[in-house]
Structure 1
Amino acid sequence: MHDKTQQVLEWAVSEVGVPGIVAEVSNPDGTTWFGTAGVADLTTGAQRVPGELVPIGSGDKAFIAAVILTLEAEGRLDIEDPVSTWLPGVLDTGGYDGTEITIRHLLSNTGGLFSTGLAPELVARYTSRSAFARHRFDAWTRQDLLRLAVSQPPVGRPGERFVYSNGGFAVCVALIEQVTGNTYAQEVERTLFQPLGLTSSYVRPEGETTFPGPHPRAYSTQFYKDGVDPAGVTPENWESMVEEPGLAPLDVTEFDTSWEPGNIVSTTGDMLRLISALAGGSLLPPAQHRKMWTTVSTEGANWLPHTRYGLGAFELDPAATGGIPVRGVAGSYWGHMFGALATPDGERALAFHTNTEAKSWELLFELARTGLAG
């Protein structure tokens, strides 16, 4: 039934350079399909298997958005609230104005915050293989992330344009805790993990640098050349700064990922349930569901192509997916690429993971074309 999807997995290993990949598909009749190619461990040759624990990277932005939209449905906040209503002073520095930036702006990456993933302070710690070795176990506190979010000047007025910014979601995590008096992890458990039965998913606790269950080894070649000044890296020139191709990948499995605002570990099976519920509307009330999928253009933003962005999630242009409307989440960082995609009715869904960072976004589009085809 999913022969073409299996062919894409094998292409990812043979042509794209992925060590190992898994994909899991849920079909309208309630059945699932699981496929794999490549290996989980380059040293032992161990195969990839169902149920592996993997970080979902920026897929966690959908969790953050869903928690906030649930709080709105409960009458505890409004996404049109200025950030300063809940976190006075946090966005009132470095040229930012928290009275003008709303929660919706942060969740849609339109708040004018700079692209935090390119912050020199962050990039410098992992810029080269030697820097990564020195800093891979560095811990980032919530205050560190809030400070990082405003460490560079604004890139525009609130609502002016889309610029992908982890910093805005770090602010949203702090806002969740301020509004509820609970930890972010507790609110994710209450509003998402329990209602959807995501029994294998969790927010990484402080200090965790590996996984408490089966997982693949993670490999990276996502490093800058020696001598590159992180301060000179921009969204326009970063590709020219990366190290030369052909170097053996570095094993980055053990890694403190507390710089990731949501920092969620999950499985492809759990993420099938999550994306089906978010895309199809079975989790959020109708008003909040509409808000999540009210999108803005990402054109010209040096981000995932052929997309429009909602609140913590995106829609793909059907012209790039063989005519199939697709909603999804995705993330990529050192050693990992994760994606979860679904049709807008939630009837068909696909989740995948590679044990290296994104080598080509075309992989995501190919999986959408094959795995979600009717």
Structure 2
Amino acid sequence: MIKHRRALRGALTLAVVAGVTTGTLAGSAPPPQNTAAAAESTHPADHARLRALLHRLTTVDGGPGALIAIRDRRDRPGSTVLTSGVADVRSHAPVRGDSRFRIGSMTKTFVATVMLQLVGERRVVLDAPVEHYLPGVVRGHGNDGRRMTVRQLLQHTSGVPDVLDHLSPQEILKDPLAHHDARDLVNIALAHPPTFEPGSGWRYSSTGYLLAGMIIERVTGQPYGDEIRRRVIAPLGLHATYVPGDASAIPGPHPRGYVRPGANAPLMDLTAINPSVAGAGGEMISSGTDINRFLGALLGGRLLRPAQLREMMRTRPTGDPDGRAYGLGLESRPLPCGGRYWGHSGDMFGYETVGGATVGGRQATVMVNLDPGGSDAQSADMKAAVRTALCTGRPSH
């Protein structure tokens, strides 16, 4: 979320000044020249606007590299991948179309999907109190698991404080490979009063998804990541998608992940980090092609029964000026060509992802190997690229 990114930029600036991290790239090179390339491209004439947006992401916005993966089951089963910029600012290696990125909060859509599968199996009740599954866990400073429901965790209406508001980036950067236990992260959040009474408002909270992951583990007896692998990754053949746990490396082809504390600050390489600091709220790794396949299967009814998919897509407004509405781990935004698209966004040290899909069968995912950057323009341009890709070939309304 943007507010977290701004806070993180400030914290990273302090970290650089204090010499906390050794990954600073002194005298970082200027933004790379556009090196957009297409793989399996079937309509190159339609990609001019997308290439322009990718070029903007890797020049004006300052991202080292970017890619967009597009898939449309109405056209042909293959994917189109366009890339721009570099995967490594030292070697200037180009971004590969099959690159894996840390996907941050897009993890939430996978977690919500597994939770709703458990609802369909009558092992979880959406409107049951959190206390029923995690007795005694949500307590203190006005937080009470007896008064908030599983649905509210998934929809960010529980009022539980967001751990990202209270987690010190400086502490993370002192030891980026350290393990973070989900219960410890939850307790950091619960040391503060709730944002509002459960059900009376909306505010994004990764703490809710840490709790959701704990519920999945309590109900199934297995780590939530194992359930995601068994229920989603394996059935869909998502060969570039991982729930890494404590593993700090990204398997397979991937760009380096960079952060920029301020507009004129040098890049810092934070590719290696223990993603348990994000846990069920944002630890996963995937590729643009895999994200598209996942979103297509989800909206196409391959992962959830109709009743549970309807619950997932039952949204409430977030108050954002772009018309965003949030369901259960799935958000929607209006398209300029009419209708809405469904998906999620996510950022994790060094990487940002935005993925979206239409119910008609078109998907697009944009990924950049910079987060946080010097400004918020990157996120806006990534969303613009998703909208452009989803509206390609469709008349404007």
- Tell me which interval the TM-score lies in, with the shorter structure as reference length: 0.7 to 0.9
Match of 1:294 among 309, 314, 319: 314
CA contact (8 A) 1:149 1:168 kept: no
Aligned residue pairs: how many?
Answer: 339
Match of 2:199 among 156, 159, 178: 159
Q: Which letter does structure 2 place at the counterpart of 1:152?
A: H
CA distance in 2, matches of 1:352, 1:365: 8
Query: What SS does the corresponding residue of 1:136 show, helix, strand or coil?
Result: coil
Match of 1:204 among 244, 256, 264: 244
Root mean square deviation, CA, Å:
1.6
Post-superposition offset of 1:118 = 1.4
- Which residue is equivalent to 1:188? 228
Unaligned residue ranges in structure 2 (runs of 5+) = 1-42
CA contact (8 A) 2:354 2:386 kept: no
CA contact (8 A) 2:114 2:228 kept: yes
Deviates more, 1:172-181 or 1:183-192: 183-192
CA distance in 1, matches of 2:64, 2:322: 24
The reply on whether 1:24 has 2:69 as its aligned counterpart is yes
Q: Which letter does structure 2 place at the counterpart of 1:170?
A: L
Q: Which letter does structure 2 place at the counterpart of 1:251?
A: D
Post-superposition offset of 1:324 = 4.6
1:1-40 pair list within 5 angstroms: 1=43, 2-27=47-72, 28-29=74-75, 30-40=77-87
Post-superposition offset of 1:139 = 1.5
Query: What's the CA shift string for 1:264-310, capped at 9, x where partnerless?
Result: 1111111111111223333210000001111111116xxx9431111
CA distance in 2, matches of 1:3, 1:31: 20
Query: What SS does the corresponding residue of 2:168 show, helix, strand or coil?
Result: helix
Post-superposition offset of 1:151 = 2.3
Q: Which letter does structure 1 place at the counterpart of 2:71?
A: S
Match of 1:326 among 308, 322, 341: 341
Post-superposition offset of 1:258 = 0.9
CA distance in 2, matches of 1:6, 1:56: 22
Query: What's the CA shift string for 1:90-146, capped at 9, x where partnerless?
Result: 112221111110000000001001232111x434425xxxxx2x2322220122122
- Which residue is equivalent to 2:146? 99
1:221-236 pair list within 5 angstroms: 221-222=260-261
Q: Which letter does structure 2 place at the counterpart of 1:277?
A: A
CA distance in 1, matches of 2:370, 2:126: 35
Q: Which letter does structure 1 place at the counterpart of 2:330?
A: A
Q: Which letter does structure 2 place at the counterpart of 1:49?
A: R
The reply on whether 1:265 has 2:285 as its aligned counterpart is yes
CA distance in 2, matches of 1:214, 1:328: 24
CA distance in 2, matches of 1:270, 1:4: 23
- Which residue is equivalent to 2:26? none
- Which residue is equivalent to 1:88? 135
- Which residue is equivalent to 1:283? 303
Runs of 4+ in structure 1 over 4 Å off = none
1:116-131 pair list within 5 angstroms: 116-119=163-166, 121-126=167-172
Q: Which letter does structure 2 place at the counterpart of 1:323?
A: G
1:174-185 pair list within 5 angstroms: 174-185=214-225
CA distance in 1, matches of 2:319, 2:225: 33
1:300-319 pair list within 5 angstroms: 305-318=322-335
Q: Which letter does structure 2 place at the counterpart of 1:221?
A: R
Match of 2:180 among 97, 120, 140: 140
CA distance in 2, matches of 1:116, 1:163: 12
Post-superposition offset of 1:54 = 1.4
Match of 1:352 among 345, 366, 390: 366
- Which residue is equivalent to 1:64? 111
- Which residue is equivalent to 2:389? 371
Q: Which letter does structure 1 place at the counterpart of 2:253?
A: P
CA distance in 2, matches of 1:313, 1:99: 25
CA distance in 2, matches of 1:285, 1:190: 17
CA distance in 2, matches of 1:78, 1:370: 38
Q: Which letter does structure 1 place at the counterpart of 2:390?
A: L
Deviates more, 1:188-197 or 1:276-285: 276-285
CA contact (8 A) 2:54 2:83 kept: yes
CA distance in 2, matches of 1:198, 1:110: 31
Match of 1:251 among 269, 280, 298: 269
Query: What's the CA shift string for 1:332-361, capped at 9, x where partnerless?
Result: 13211011111123x110112100026422
